[in-house]
A and B are shown apart, each in its own frame.
Chain A
Amino acid sequence: MIPLSYYLTLGALLFGVGMFGALTRRNAIAILMAVELMLNAVNVNFIALSRYLPNSTLDGQVFAIFVITVAAAEAAVGLAIVLGLYRNFKTVNVDEINLMKW
């Protein structure tokens, strides 16, 4: 049996990678992907804890399914927004999208 800490480390690493991507990437699609990565890091933790905690129920796994569903919806909406951005700005580089700037 693989110890729990391995899964939690994997989740933390994934989350770190996702966070780094979301903070440093300039491409809107890459940022969306980074956000997905963070969501999946959370999923890894959910599943691992649901499996390893004593007398745990299936809540963690069910919650992971919810996260996946919401992530799918989020990706659909996010990509639609990116598409809309691209049509209006001819770019998906978030640096150049600054309508809200002072």
Chain B
Amino acid sequence: MMEYIWLVPAFPLVGVVINGLFGRSYLRERAHLVAVPAAGLSFLVALLIALEVVAGRTLDLHLYPWIVAGHFQVPIGFLVDPLATVMMLTVTFVGLLIHIYSIGYMHGDPGYPRFFAYLNLFMFSMLILVLANNYLFMFLGWEGVGLCSYLLIGFWYEKKAATDAGNKAFLVNRVGDAGFLLGLFLLWTTCGTLEYGAIFAQTATLQASLTAPAVGGVSLVTWITLLLFIGAMGKSAQLPLYVWLPDAMEGPTPVSALIHAATMVTAGVYMVARSSPLYSLAPPTLELVATIGALTALFAATIACVQTDIKRVIAYSTISQLGYMFLGAGVGAYASGIFHLATHAFFKALLFLGAGAVIHALHGEQDLQRMGGLRRPLKLTAYTFLIGAAANAGVFPLAGFWSKDEILFAAFTTGHYGLWALGLAGAFLTAFYMTRLYCLTFEGPFRGDPAPARHLHDAPPSMALPLLGLALGSVVVGGLLGYPPEHGLVHQFLAPSLAAAPEAAGHASAWLLAGLSLGVAGAGIGAGTLLYLRWRDVPELLAARFQRAYRLLWHQYYVDELYDAIFVDGFLRFCRLFWKVDENVVDGAVNGTADVTMRVSNGSDWNDIKIVDGAVNRIADIIQGCSATWRYVQTGLVQNYLMAMVLGIFLIVSLYMVL
């Protein structure tokens, strides 16, 4: 079965081809009949293969030599090991549920088949990303998911904000990808191959040369991992390249759930975990990864506390949770980072789909200030959303508790007390904003327009099923895979794929730390409940009292404005400079030449009129007589000329052949 691993990405690819070619003209409202089974079959095959991996088999499959250029050889190949399996199952399962959800959510949209074609293309690219057996093939998937992200953010392309957000996501990711590519170049010149197996086998023999100080007193492996991490920063929305993710919420909500929460944005974490043998040789990079992760976790959490767009709150929450994953990877607990990635995929997809159900019911309303009291009309959505929010907040025994606690524990036991404190503060804020989000949406009085609110209806079956499936996952996945902490199933399973984590020091403190983070989560939930359920006028008073801080958070620390001023305006100024050069120097030269020519020609004018013209006019008369019939050849249509050219070539070649 394992040899058929290529089937997993192949099914969605077939879906893309069918929906791409026949979707608009023939399938139309039936597009999901192709797309959903494609995702489903992909999940089934993935499941069968996962069973074999659990039994202990791994496979490094070479299908085809993709690029052969002298010493530079890259195959199309798949690596099936525990890490890839965890990612593959997460992607196909969450992807399948979101395909099903989209049937209900996108119903009646004019771009229905296009949407499913993009969604399948995304599945294909993401599966290539996680299953590839070398960095370049992975990069193909990496860029593929970036392309799908761009296409789906700008899915409603008549909306200016949507296309702008798509462009922004694409351009910001370009910055990260430049770093990633440079990292690949350096990796190839150092190791002479881009295949995971070959590189990681070499790390032992090349260790001396890899870790010796090289450029700028920094070892080669540190440079490689740093450059690769820049790519991860862009793709996984970490400081300072996170700015595209909140704007990406312009896309349809299933897209936000699948691409911008559950799968694509976690690609950076996967890449770091996949490269763990390299990262473990580069302690400075690991420190940076952990620091950026912890800072992002807290930074994004503070912004999430004041935003009023339901999807933006969840988007900042995603950035914050991604920060936790990097914190885990950075302190060497790669398995905990991947574990958090998997649990996060469930509860964050659940939150987004719940938010989508709310937006769907309210006909596009996304403003929290115009919601409230929706628990009664939208029972199923409210309860599943509550499960997702609690799992995100880290409530025992839901999924988020196990994985987040492990990351904080690892940060503490490896001696990163400062980062641990940042993470703990972030955990408090996480619990707080999740409670706020739930209360503002589902509790209290309804603050929106009362007229349409009378006939609110809950999610249709196609949307309810994914909500239930993900809610179930959010409840059980954490405890099932994560108990007992540090030695749960997921750790034993992932151990062969990852560099060994540093042995945790004091296990006695584990329960104390777990209790502490539970207490912090409880405090956050308590504060949220008090402020947004009991004393509902207090938040506004607080905002008025601490106006400056509130405005800073409301404007997201003015980072967008800063980037606009530095990069966008800088670029425009640069362009204007070139324009000025063009206008003054180039045009000036042309005009000057023209001037001189004018003067000279004035001088020769007399000569021209008297002597030359006389002769010319005679000739012209003759030519005009001749040309009257031929002028119609000059049609002015380039294609006619091109046609004549092609016919001419054809004629000459055939003549050549005949003679």
Contact = CB atoms under 8 A, between A and B. Distances in A.
B567 interface: no
30 contacts: A19-B646, A22-B639, A22-B642, A23-B639, A23-B642, A23-B643, A23-B646, A24-B639, A31-B639, A51-B68, A58-B69, A58-B70, A61-B69, A94-B637, A94-B638, A94-B639, A95-B637, A98-B636, A98-B637, A99-B636, A100-B634, A100-B636, A101-B634, A101-B635, A101-B636, A101-B637, A102-B631, A102-B632, A102-B634, A102-B636
Contacts of A98: 636-637
Contacts of B643: 23
Interface in B621-652: 631-632, 634-639, 642-643, 646
Find the residue from A31, A95, A102 having the highest chain B CB count within 10 A. Answer: A102
Contacts of B636: 98-102
A58 B72 CA distance: 11
B70 to A, nearest CB: 6
Given A22-B642, A23-B646, 11 more contacts: A23-B642, A31-B639, A94-B637, A94-B639, A95-B637, A98-B636, A100-B636, A101-B635, A102-B632, A102-B634, A102-B636
Nearest to B640: A23
A23 B632 CA distance: 19
Top 7 closest pairs, chain A to chain B, by CB: A101-B636, A98-B636, A100-B636, A102-B634, A102-B631, A61-B69, A58-B69
A58 B637 CA distance: 40
Contacts of A99: 636
Interface residues of A, number: 15
A61 B69 CA distance: 8
A78 to B, nearest CB: 12
Contacts of B68: 51
B253 to A, nearest CB: 32
B18 to A, nearest CB: 20
Contacts of A51: 68
Interface in B5-28: none
Interface of A: 19, 22-24, 31, 51, 58, 61, 94-95, 98-102
Classify chain B's interface size: 10 to 19
B622 to A, nearest CB: 19
A94 B69 CA distance: 41
B645 to A, nearest CB: 10
Interface string B49-72: 000000000000000000011100
B105 to A, nearest CB: 32
A64 to B, nearest CB: 10
Nearest to A100: B636
B639 to A, nearest CB: 6
B181 to A, nearest CB: 15
Interface in B63-85: 68-70
A24 B638 CA distance: 11
B636 to A, nearest CB: 3
B329 to A, nearest CB: 35
A98 B638 CA distance: 10
A95 B643 CA distance: 15
Nearest to B635: A101
Contacts of A31: 639
Nearest to B70: A58
Contacts of B638: 94
Interface string B475-515: 00000000000000000000000000000000000000000
A12 to B, nearest CB: 14
Nearest to A61: B69
A58 B73 CA distance: 13
A101 B634 CA distance: 6
A51 B638 CA distance: 36
Contacts of B69: 58, 61
B67 to A, nearest CB: 9
Nearest to B627: A102
A99 B68 CA distance: 49
Contacts of A95: 637
A44 to B, nearest CB: 14
Contacts of A102: 631-632, 634, 636
A94 B638 CA distance: 8
A58 B639 CA distance: 36
Nearest to A57: B70
A99 B631 CA distance: 15
A24 B646 CA distance: 13
Nearest to B643: A23
A98 B636 CA distance: 6
Contacts of B631: 102
Contacts of A58: 69-70
A39 to B, nearest CB: 15
Nearest to B64: A2
Contacts of A24: 639
A58 B643 CA distance: 34
A51 B634 CA distance: 44
A26 B632 CA distance: 20
Contacts of A101: 634-637
Nearest to A28: B638
Contacts of A22: 639, 642
A98 B639 CA distance: 12
A94 B636 CA distance: 10
Interface string B543-584: 000000000000000000000000000000000000000000
